[in-house]
Structure 1
């Protein structure tokens, strides 16, 4: 599952990495959460970043608000499930990211947030699907979800699934309108643990109102339990 991610890159870095034009007012993000308006690249408009809301309403459920629950979908069944099969063939996107957060359960009630990254400071993307629908006010909403795959060994202490991470070659296949279902499914594989690393971060990431760069800094175990003096 993917519930939060980061995009600390600059406008120039994003444009260079993805070959797409970004809005002038883009700013780095360190605690991205569902329902927020975020940059994606779609198969319909690969030359520029679009800005869609994270958390979609399935196509068969009309006139519903943005969904807090429907933010991920399993890649293994995305081509066949009613909620995603149309988007799988017609409305694919990639979501740029330089890391994501996951929580490791310690004891019965405590969860420690960690950040997963792709060193050295690599920009990657998640495979996603997007939707367009009319909301209750008659306005057109564009939304997206992130596809998930079985977790690699590094991620298994945090959950059974992780985001479907794409490299440049896989992004081209995913965004190509003429890719076959077999080609599309082939890029939705579990990302190698050898290409990732993880480290603990401040529990302040639990609050979506916090979106500062200090959230991505490595935090010692003692700071996980209330000592925030490093960030004062």
Structure 2
């Protein structure tokens, strides 16, 4: 699954990378978590950024709050699941990011956080879908989730799933409402590990309230736990 990611880029960098306009200000984010409001680009409005909450409320769940349960969907079955089928067909989006986190199990009670990035730590986009719902105050809210696939060899050392990372070419296919079903499914592949890097980061990332530049810096095993033998 993907339960935490980063978007440590400026508004100008994001507008240049995705050729889309971002209304208002944007502050780089180093520890994005479910239920938080983040920029996405939708198939309905590919020329601009929208701000949606992470954690989808399915179409059939009217007047429900932002969900922490539906933050990911499996790419292998998304076109068939009742919860996501319509959104997959009609409400696709890309989610800008520059890294994501996974935790390596070291023991029964010990986990080590790792950050996964693309070469040169450039910005990229996850494949996603979005929904709209009406809250208890009658306000329309928008939510999104990240689609996952089987992990590539690099990520599989930590976790058996990874988010679908699109290339600039597949981003366009994903946002195009005319793209056929099979072409959409072909986008949902593990990203090439040769174009990725990973490294350990501070356990401070475990706390959602922490959101500082230090979280995305490489950390030695000693800095993580005070004991190199944990990585033996």
- Please give the TM-score of this superposition, normalised by the length of structure 1: 0.96
Match of 2:147 in 1: 147
Equivalent-residue separation in structure 2 for 1:158 and 1:87 (angstroms) = 30
1:223 paired residue number: 223
Q: Which runs of 5+ in 2 are unaligned?
A: 228-232
Q: Deviations over 1:34-84 (max 9, x none)?
A: 000000000000111000000011111211111111100001111111000
**Cross-structure match for 2:196:** 196
Other structure's SS at 1:13 match: helix
Q: For the aligned residues, what is the CA RMSD?
A: 1.1
Q: CA deviation at 1:121?
A: 2.1
Secondary structure of 1:131's aligned partner: strand
CA–CA distance in 2 between the matches of 1:5 and 1:204? Answer: 14
* Deviation >2 Å, runs of 4+: none
State how far apart, in whole Å, the 2-side matches of 1:7 and 1:96 are. 7
Residue 226 of structure 1: how far off its partner (Å): 6.0
Q: 1:39 touches 1:96 (CA, 8 Å); kept in 2?
A: yes
1:57 and 1:157 mapped to 2: Cα distance?
A: 32
Corresponding residue SS for 2:13? helix
Superposition deviation, residue 160 in structure 1: 1.4
The CA distance in 1 between the partners of 2:73 and 2:158, in whole Å, is 17
1:47 equivalent in alignment to 2:47: yes
Paired residue secondary structure (1:149):
strand
Contact 2:133/2:142, CA 8 A, preserved across alignment: yes
Distance 1:22 1:115 in 2: 26
Tell me what 1:71 maps to: 71
TM-score (norm 2): 0.96
Q: Measure, in 2, the Cα distance between the counterparts of 1:127 and 1:112.
A: 26
Distance change >3 Å, CA 144–CA 152, structure 1 → 2: same
Aligned length: 227
1:3 aligned residue? 3
